[in-house]
Structure 1
């Protein structure tokens, strides 16, 4: 079928793979991840405790702080640089509010709407969009902020981060990177950027409602905590009533009140990924992606997300009929591999949509 082989997974990766149930044929992590067994068990215990009237809000604080620390380790920053959020677009709105009037935000054509729409809704600024492969060359003296996804949602293409940051640095432009389709599968160094955003329900396999903002100290000084609430206080449980306000001095000043149960699951899932070599995860998943490309006779993409033209959705329907879960985006079929997948999934796709000319 294919000549490409995968390296034997390390003990850590093999152990992590065992945390997931029977996920054969699940190629839709780019839409929604699957929870590890430890997350499901923790959620069940928490629900049982809640049902038994054995839960209080303060009891979730250590869970949230441990999860923040896991995420910080995963993306290479200190926990003090990480704010807890819930939605990508809401976090982006904070960034959009900081853009000075009359300046430009440069975005990518076809990028995920949550990192474009808040800028489009901000009056008094200019939003310019260009193709991803022209992003670095399009940064100029007009650009105050460049906003882009590390991995494109619709195509899986990985942005040329060094070129983008070098171009931004030449003109003093700031950088805002969405790592939602990268963190957990592709190495991420959030310290490279002025700000990043990540929702954890995809490749980090967490319940929906757990998102993160990272900010440099310089970027923090530019942002206004417009969504400030009690959980953004320096001392959370002394911040429940106004008007006296003492927000946290670090990135926690941008925290939003957490959806408690979601964080119970996220602690386990993100902790699992924080203990892995993510470069190995990328080698495994992108290797499967290239196996699929070779099997289907399409050009190698070297990505965990493999796409090809499927404007009418024929291949997507064929996969669904064969019990294979994938997704369709922007007229293309999107098959996304994560650590639970193996060569058997490549064989299942090939059996459902035989090799023929594709783009």
Structure 2
């Protein structure tokens, strides 16, 4: 735990505990963006971007998520992917969502006036599934407080009632092992624990679930082949039919970032991040604070958001969603980062 797993890939100028808001770009990702930008500025044959890079990103995420690459679609944002699923639901569909889940999960579903969203506490979500529920939509890890959902219970309840599941893995993928094939749909933005720029997001869709999921704005990248770029093109038979045009600079970076995640491996990343988080929780309790309990890489102390300024003055970067103090631990962090944050909090009451 004493040495960051990222080695010399990272060089933050602060004690950075804010991956739940934005992940650090590794050097290799920055280099990839720089090379593509320079190639495009020079107008050489590598200008614009590489389809090989986007293919590598798809394959890398598929391995991280535990699914075949043909089950993965590439997009720019989670909200657009959640909107795709929302558009597939029949009018009047009963949709179950945890209370105060992240807006990218909730808003696309709630904005359809003919759906019937219901909200339940996260720890009572499985019990709230009922016959006739069409979709359960939730985050694997809550952005506001770092809680990890009881996904096994939700899957069991949804299966019993014939409901589909939409899982947002944005705050989980990169430190929490993920079996995306256990869900009808997963959506993931890569700019947090997958250490990529904004503009890289993923949809996984099961073969059965794909039957009822209609592409909303298919274009060239959703076609079965790109041999002819004119006229109406047949859509890909795989999940690639939901692909959006890639932002090549972001995807060139993501190719390198996801490769780093794979090199280290999710078991090591999970043990490292949750070990540091446990150390932080223990220290917080010793200081008289009460963090949200659990075994998450994200640690939140409700009501302590005002301490963010004291931490910033000490060179520690955290965030304060919903008034809580939130610290998130990842591969670039070490035990010394935990201790520095606790020292900065030692005088805060």
After TM superposition, the score normalised by the length of structure 1 is 0.92
**Distance in 1 separating the partners of 2:130 and 2:308:** 41
2:237 pairs with 1:245 = no
Partners in 1 of 2:198 and 2:269 — Cα distance?
22
| Alpha-carbon distance, 1:309 to partner | 2.2
1:85 aligns with 2:75: yes
* 3-state SS, counterpart of residue 187 of structure 1: coil
Q: Which residue of 2 aligns with 1:301?
A: 294
Q: In the TM superposition, what whole-angstrom CA distance separates every residue of 1:54-83 from its partner, at most 9, and x where no partner exists?
A: 145785111100110000001000110000
Pairing 1:1-359 to 2, within 5 Å after superposition: 6=1, 14=5, 16-22=6-12, 24-55=14-45, 60-238=50-228, 240-242=229-231, 244-297=232-285, 298=290, 300-310=293-303, 313-354=305-346
For structure 2, which runs of at least 5 residues remain unmatched after alignment?
none
CA separation of 1:162 and 1:355: change in aligned 2, threshold 3 A: farther
Give CA deviations for 1:74-123 in whole Å, capped at 9, x if unaligned.
10001100000001110111100111112211001110011111111113
Q: How far is the alpha carbon of 1:277 from its aligned partner?
A: 2.4
Measured in 1, the distance between the counterparts of 2:338 and 2:262 equals: 27
Ranges of 4+ aligned residues in structure 1 off by more than 4 Å: 55-59
Deviation at 1:314, TM superposition (A): 2.4
Could you list the runs of 5+ residues in structure 1 that have no partner in the other structure? 1-5
From the superposition, tell whether residues 147 and 57 of structure 1 become closer, same or farther in structure 2 (CA, over 3 Å): farther
TM-score, normalised via structure 2 length: 0.94
Aligned mates of 1:355, 1:302 — CA distance in 2: 26
Q: Partners of 1:178 and 1:315 in 2: how far apart?
A: 29
Counterpart CA distance in 2 for 1:237 and 1:326 is 48
Q: Secondary structure at the match of 2:149?
A: coil
The 3-state SS of whatever aligns with 1:69 is helix
1:24 positional shift = 4.7
User: Measured at CA, do residues 179 and 58 of structure 1 come closer, stay the same or move farther in structure 2, by a change above 3 Å?
Assistant: same
Count of aligned residue pairs for this structure pair:
344
Shift of 1:302: 2.0
Is contact 1:193-1:216 (8 Å) kept?
yes
Paired with 2:303 and 2:244, the residues of 1 have a C-alpha distance of: 40
